[in-house]
Amino acid sequence: MASPRQEEKFREVKQLLQQDVPIREIARKFKMSRITVRKYKHCEELPRKTYISPTGLAKHLGYIKKRKTENPGIQLRQLHTELKSRGYQGAYSTLSDGLARHSLAMGKKKGIKTVLPSDLSLWRPSRSAILFFNDPKKLSRDESEILNQLCTASVVLKQSLSFIRKFRQMMFKDQCSIGLQDWIQSVSDCSIPELCGFAKGLQQDFVAIKNAFDLPWSNGPVEGNVNKLKTLKRQMYERCSLRLLEKRLVLAP
């Protein structure tokens, strides 16, 4: 389907040809081939580009129009499934492009934007994921409602929440590794790839993980001093000596 700009260019070329303007000059003005200008000279309408789809979409155009008439709100994904059962060999994206080429665009190709209600609460995936790790007692009413809706809609999310809260209970409240091995075994047997990978990593370094649960010691002070050293080093990079860096590290509060 030609665009309005192409139609306008065709009319301008035809008008110049009727005024006996040289073909070379017209081609230079519109930055087009002289062969195209000569073709326009013998055409009453803008020539349409013919495209033969290797997927055989043309054979299904009648069925597509019928389905759109029967169900104006049919989804492109459903239509693609139906066409596959009828012998269509193209992919989902190929079907989308082909329908747009035949002025039967659907989905994003149709260019219709959905306007969301102004009072709708939008939650990003990253923000929603934090709800799974927060203390249930510190969640607001809206946060608890959203978390319940997610778990109701997905069995995987509901199972993930149960595992996460059990791990959180052992690590932060009980501060004890009793039940950790059973937790790792239960998670390893589930069908959630992300949690299975996490459990596998815990098992590989189980002794260190167990000590982190049971012992009161923490490497927090060490990490804090390392961060302090790196901050000072970046401030003084290529401007001061190592001796001054040592003094700043030792004498700075």
pLDDT, tens only, 143-168: 899 999 999 999 999 999 999 999 99
The set of long-range contacts for 10-15, using a CB threshold of 8 Å and a minimum separation of 24, is: 10/40, 10/46, 13/37, 13/40, 14/40, 14/41
pLDDT for residue 113 is more than 70: no
pLDDT attached to residue 196? 92
Query: What percent of the chain is helix, strand and coil (3-state, nearest 5)?
Result: 65, 0, 35
pLDDT attached to residue 117? 54
Residues of the chain with pLDDT > 90, as a percent, come to: 22
Q: Between 2 and 65, whose confidence is greater?
A: 65
First to last CA, the chain: 73
Residue at 140: amino acid letter: S
Domain boundaries, the chain: 4-41, 57-108, 125-214, 220-251
Residue 134 CB partners (closer than 8 Å, separation 6+): 143
Residue 206 pLDDT grade (very low, low, confident, very high; cuts 50, 70, 90) = very high
pLDDT, average across residues 71-81: 85
pLDDT for residue 23 is more than 70: yes
pLDDT, average across residues 235-240: 80
Residue 112 pLDDT grade (very low, low, confident, very high; cuts 50, 70, 90) = low
Which range, of 51-55, 76-80, 208-212, averages the lowest pLDDT? 51-55
Which range, of 64-73, 145-154, 243-252, averages the lowest pLDDT? 243-252
Q: Between 173 and 117, whose confidence is greater?
A: 173
Residue 199, number of CB atoms within 10 A of its CB: 21
pLDDT attached to residue 236? 84
Residue 79 pLDDT grade (very low, low, confident, very high; cuts 50, 70, 90) = confident
Rounded to whole angstroms, the Cα distance separating 239 from 174 reads 49
Rounded to whole angstroms, the Cα distance separating 138 from 152 reads 21
- Residues shown for the chain: 253
